[in-house]
Structure 1
Amino acid sequence: MSTIKQPRYRVIALRIAEKISTNQIKVGEKIHARSTLATTFGVSSETARRALNVLVDLEIVEIRHGSGAIVVSRQKAQEYVAAENEARDLQSLENGLTEQIKEHQAGLNALAKSIKNYVDQSQHYQQHNPLTPFELTLTENSSLYGKTLSELNFWHLTGTTLVGIGHEDKLVISPGPYAKIELGDTLYFVGDENSVQIVQNFFYDN
């Protein structure tokens, strides 16, 4: 999980503010000189100076000629600490949401991959098992109902082989040329992957 790393001088400023907010350093007290702060926190004098400047800008401390950095407001120190804690909480929430989005996206990617594999395998199976019939139930009106397969010239016009007709809870296997097609029948036929669309178009585009 990624986080925004605070500059070292802001970390030092926050630590000093925390001590002021909890009254470990009291209003009116002098904060250590830059050299002492630099040694205490293991940073350069410039970094210590920038940390003090943050506290000055926030009106937590005041630079007084001849006296150095003096604490002038515990309340502003508390406000600064509270704001920084809130920012960290928001960052934590943002990181959590980012991780959830990543996990969700990974799940979607896995689902898409599974669907692709299923489609690929289904097409492969159909290509290598051409005798597995397609199924189509005729639920819409058509002008071709009531005609025989011979009259419809079904085999020639659709390029498929009708292997069965489901009619009123009965299944007719290998229907002959005089078998009729009616509304509600379920047709079982074999052909290529476009067969279902071709048969649908045959009945409903007339």
Structure 2
Amino acid sequence: MKNSNGPLYKNIALDIANRIVRGKLKCDEKISGRSTLASMYNVSPETIRRAIALLEDMDVVNSTKGSGIEILSISAAEKFIERNKNNVYLSTVKENIFDILKKKKKLDEELEDNFNKIMDLVERFENISPFTLIEVSIDNNCLVLGKKVNELKFWQRTRATILAYRRKSNIIISPGPEYIFTEGDIIVVIGSSNVYKKVYEFLYEE
């Protein structure tokens, strides 16, 4: 078993401390004995003994012969990690990466879900005559930057309704009258004939 920078027993102690902080090992519960940990990390019992001794010295755990290893303090585990943060155990780094990837996957799924919603709106409204569905970019020369839809009487002046807008990777459905025209946004608008001309003139030419 390869280790990151520093002695192997210290890296194992760091890994256990990280598991405590991340909630994978909880206070007031006992973790596997030294022989089981030795098998899990593929090291000798003596290496595990030295790792546990480091954690005991900072009151992270308490090891009693015949009673297992008891977790004492999350804050002590955090202090241990801070003191040894330049020697983070490789498996903990991998777990952090996996957590980030899981969060990214969830965000991607939410984005796809929102995108499907807006596409559903597009498909449904495309078949409703005489309405037209368009997208308009809000550029830095837009005349109404920083202003709300309701204060501009957007619908009264264009006969168009903002169904959604895209801001970077986020798609917001039905933003309502409180929407503020913001540079970089792309608004999705529905209206009657000549809606693009009316909206564009309102945003850039009046």
TM-score, normalising length: structure 1 = 0.38
TM-score, normalising length: structure 2 = 0.38
Name the larger-Rg structure: 1
